[in-house]
Each structure stands twice: as structure tokens, then as C-alpha cells.
Amino acid sequence: MAGSGPKARFYGKAVFNWRLKLAAGLTGLPELTGSPGLSGNYSKDKITSSALRQNARRLAARTKTITMLAGSGTRWTESLIRAGRHKGAEPAAAAAMAALAGEPRGLYPVRNFMGFGPDPVPIAGYALAAVKDLGSHIIVVRGWQKEIVQRVLMPLALDSKCWTFAEQEAPSGLARGHGDGLYQAMDKWENSDYLLVNFGGDAANPVTALAALSVMDALCAADPKSAPDLILPVCLTETALYPVELGSNGLPEAFGHSKLKGAASQNGAMAYSNVGLRIYRTAAMKEAMAHIRSKYWKADRGYNIPGNACAPDDNGGEFALDNADSYFAKRKKARILHVARPEEQSPVKKLEDIAAFERNMAILSGDWSSYYSNNGRGFEK
């Protein structure tokens, strides 16, 4: 590989091929003990689309994919309203921004670097397309189903037989976190083996998604009792937005997130960071949710989870997926997988994030083109 050190690790051909090898399910367990740029075992053999397709189809029969697309977030709506009120803004532009502020963040149009579908494409198109071959798809929403179908699902040719909506109830108009959204949709995913969860406002990479799912399946097949309940794909970066703190045994201990009391930012030091994608064992997630609900939820008060942000009403705070992640970490059943690229850590939380999101998706487009063919209709025939 050209270059040296952590920054160079995910830009060499050997490492890229290692990631494709994981995605194709062709990496043996001894190789999984390695880490890209350290002791990972790389193959120079070309990974074909047929190998990726075969592995994806095998795993899809056992997997439910869930994309969180409910709501917009306060920072997003405020940034649009602020842009509309900017000094010198035309009244029509201000009105347009105000209208967009009422829509889910995932419907906002951005440049399309996937190689298929409309350009521009709604932000959520990336997250939905990245996992479209990895199991029946549950889209957690709060309304806007018609618009999502017309502006995202149909233009990207996502098969209507492969997805369904789950409406997240929101007391006082406020959703109570993506953990609660997943809980409310349990009847749609409880009969699977694996859950793959991503977010409609994040940069997405299909290679990372399939690679992480393949590793979970390999570990479960080798030894179900010792296999993890959570695999968290991470990148290594100097600007960790969601840093993962590892213990002396190399296992995750804390997660840096505004909703939790986890690890703080590492002030420019290289750190592993979550990129918003998670792979869970379904049975373990059901147990975690039962534990969290029994301990922190009351019918008359909602959730009251220590460390989470307080709600501005009397209906309780949020239940975040990060809380389930912490549950698994405390039981030493969480693992990180350094398979994501730093550009995947590019969530859109406010309007000003769009430029970085588009810049990073342009870089990640090489992964998309290596993964998909046949004009985006799936793997090559």
C-alpha cells in the first residue's frame, strides 16, 4: 500500500480487497483476528460480483434490515429555518426552506454518486439502496410514506415486495428515540436471525454493510455461545464523532454520544468511531429490549434512562440504540469491526453538513461501483 500509518490503511488495494473478501464471505475465522493495516490476511484474488451476490442472498433469508427515517431532528429544522431567514434571502426561497423544514431530513435532495437512480436523490436513498439486497426491509417512519415511495423507493427501483413501513408513535409529537422505534416495530423483525440497522441521514456503504453481516454470521456459525450479540462497524479517524472506548481486553466499554455518558472526544487523537451501522443478533436484541423496558419504562412516565437527554414534556425521555449497545458491552457481547472508511462518518444533522456529505459520498462511490452493477438493479446477472 502507498503511504503508512492509520490514515493510509483504507486506501490501498490490498485492504479494499480484504473488505470485499469479507463481504463475499470468503474470509476464514483465523483471518478475522487480524486488523486492516496490522495483521489482516489479504488475498490478491479478484472478488467477483457473483460471489458477493451469492453471499448476500444466503444472508438475506435470515436478516431483517431496518432504516430509521422518522422525523427530522431539531438541528435540521432549525438550520433550514435559519437559512430561509438569512439576510437577503428572497421571500420565495424563505418559503421554500420553511416547507422543507416540515419534511423528514431523509427527503432532502443531494447529488447522486451511486451510478444509478435520479440525480439529485434524497439523502435517504443512499441508506436504503446500500442494504437493498440484504433482507426484507423495514422503514421506520412518522408519516410521509407516500412521499418516500414516490421520491425514493420507486426512483431507485426498490422492489415493493421487499420493504414495509413501521409507523413510530410519538407522544406529544416527539419520537422517543430510535431504540423505541425499533421496539415498536418488533412484530416485523422478531422472527429473523440478524438485524441490520442504519439511518436515513448517514453516509452509507454497501461493502461495509455486507462485510459486517458476513462476519457476524461466520462467528455465530463457528460458536453460537461465544459469538457477539452486536457487531459495530467502525472507522479509524482523528475526528471521531462517535468514539468507541476499548478496555484492556480490546472490547468496547463506552460509546461517545450526546445521549449517553460515554467516551468523550479524543481531541484529534486517532480513535475508532461508529459510522451509524449496527448488526445485532435478533434474539439478543429482544432480551436487551425486555431488560431496558422493564427497568427504565413506565406506562405513565415513559422512559427514564440515566444519561439520556431529558424530554421537554412529561412523557419521558428517549430510548436510543446506544443504550442497547451499552447493555451488550457491559456483558462483553459487543465487538467492533474495523471495516468502515472514515468518509462513512458523515451524518447530516443540519443543512451545513450537506457539502461534507456529498464530498464523502463522491469518495465512497468507488465502493458502490465495485459492489453493484447492472445499472443498480442488483448484482450482475
Summarize pLDDT for 43-97 with one digit per residue, the tens.
445 566 777 888 899 999 999 999 999 876 788 888 888 887 764 566 776 677 7
Q: Residue-wise over 92-107: b if at least 16 C-beta within 10 A, else e?
A: eeeeebeebbebbbbb
**Percent share of the chain, pLDDT over 90:** 53
Grid coordinates given for 277: 451501522
Residue 107 has what pLDDT? 94
CA distances from 215 to 208, 247, 282 (A): 11, 22, 15
How confident is the model at residue 35, as a pLDDT? 38
Q: What is the pLDDT of residue 200?
A: 94
| Grid cell locating 316 | 419521558
Q: What is the rounded CA–CA span in Å between residue 274 and residue 278?
A: 9
Question: Looking at residue 31, what is its pLDDT?
Answer: 47
Task: Name the CATH code of domain 60-69+104-376 (choices 3.20.20.140, 3.40.50.2000, 3.40.50.620, 3.90.550.10).
Answer: 3.90.550.10
What is the reported pTM?
0.87
Distance CA 231, CA 213 (A): 8
What are the pLDDT digits (tens) for 130-159? 998 898 999 999 999 999 999 999 999 888
Cβ burial of 246 (10 Å; 0-12, 13-18, 19+) is middle
What amino acid occupies position 240? Answer: A
Closest CA to 182 of 201, 195, 200: 195
Q: What is the pLDDT of residue 366?
A: 82
Quote the pLDDT of residue 85.
73
- The domain locations on the chain are 60-69+104-376
What is the pLDDT at residue 8? 37
d(CA 149, CA 160): 9
Contacts of 108 by beta carbon, 8 Å cutoff, 6+ apart: 100, 122, 123, 348, 354
d(C-alpha 280, C-alpha 283), whole Å: 9
CA–centroid distance for 367 within its chain: 16
Please give the pLDDT value at position 313: 66
Residues of the chain where predicted confidence (pLDDT) is lower than 50: 1-11, 30-44, 87, 259, 261-265, 374-381
